[in-house]
Amino acid sequence: MELVNSSRFVRDAVNRIAAASVAAGGGPFRLSLCGGGTPREIYRALAEEDLDWKNFIITFGDERCVAPDHEQSNYRMIREALLDRVAIPEENVLRLKGEITPAKAADEYEKLLRQRAGDEVFRHDLLLLGMGEDGHTASLFPAAQALEERDRWVVASEVTKLSAWRLTFTYPLINASRRVLFLVRGDSKRRIVEQIIHGGADCYPASGVRPEDGTLVWLLGQ
Ligand code: 6PG
């Protein structure tokens, strides 16, 4: 686990994503994108890079259960900031369907990933995550049943505090990644990250991200 304090947060994030795509060596680059507000400007800057976009396979670490054009949709934010501006083949953008029944959407996505993974676990080359002020990540919120999931890769989770349903990757899928990169900004979150890194912060869902055979980097910005 590596903690990187960055004074060039967006540039450092873009460089790390670009480097991971180059490391894929011209083969498929499985990249999972996170939602929320922090990554928007990273995705915008990433779209300016000259990368092998045709090799990118895009998944979404979580999604709000809304239509893809809803202002709360992570897909909409990512499409506007990145996908509409680069030449990733449409069939390589594996969208979580927030507009259909949550359980059905989770089942469909699970099946899609398993079809692509064959007998193996679906391993992301790089999986991006944010973290909330309560230590949630993806849509794994404190006390959620989804935190206990050890078999499924994608579940629907009712987030009590938001009175809303979410779709989210689970720890088994997240922790199968070759690289996990947290993108976190702000002093209040910094304190949570430091607690997680020093251990004993199991109350925070982000502390459950521990890649089994991969790297974990916390990129902290102002
Ligand atoms: C979401 C995200 C969520 C996000 C954190 C941090 O759907 O909101 O996936 O996990 O990463 O809430 O959000 P900010 O980056 O906006 O603080």
**CA 153, CA 111: separation in Å to the nearest integer?**
10
The percentage of the chain sitting over the pLDDT mark of 70, rounded to a whole number, equals: 100
Residues 75 and 95: beta-carbon distance below 8 Å: yes
For ligand 1, the distance from its centroid to the CA atom of residue 27, given in whole angstroms, is 29
**Could you tell me if the CB of 37 is within 6 A of ligand 1?**
yes
Sequence ranges of the domains in the chain:
2-221
Which class would CATH give 2-221?
alpha beta
**Could you tell me if the CB of 35 is within 6 A of ligand 1?**
yes
Q: What is the pLDDT of residue 200?
A: 80
Residues 214 and 178: beta-carbon distance below 8 Å: yes
Q: What is the pLDDT of residue 84?
A: 98
Whole-prediction pTM value? 0.98
**Could you tell me if the CB of 188 is within 6 A of ligand 1?**
no
For the residues 110-131, what does the mean pLDDT come to? Answer: 97
For ligand 1, the distance from its centroid to the CA atom of residue 55, given in whole angstroms, is 26
Atom in ligand 1 nearest the alpha carbon of residue 137: 10
Q: Average pLDDT over the chain, rounded to whole?
A: 97
pLDDT beyond 90 at 126: yes
Q: What is the pLDDT of residue 201?
A: 84
pLDDT tens-digit series, residues 29-62:
999 999 999 999 999 999 999 999 999 999 999 9
**Could you tell me if the CB of 138 is within 6 A of ligand 1?**
yes
At residue 137, the 3 state secondary structure works out as strand
**Could you tell me if the CB of 38 is within 6 A of ligand 1?**
yes
**Could you tell me if the CB of 157 is within 6 A of ligand 1?**
no
Q: What is the DSSP letter of 222?
A: -
**CA 80, CA 121: separation in Å to the nearest integer?**
30
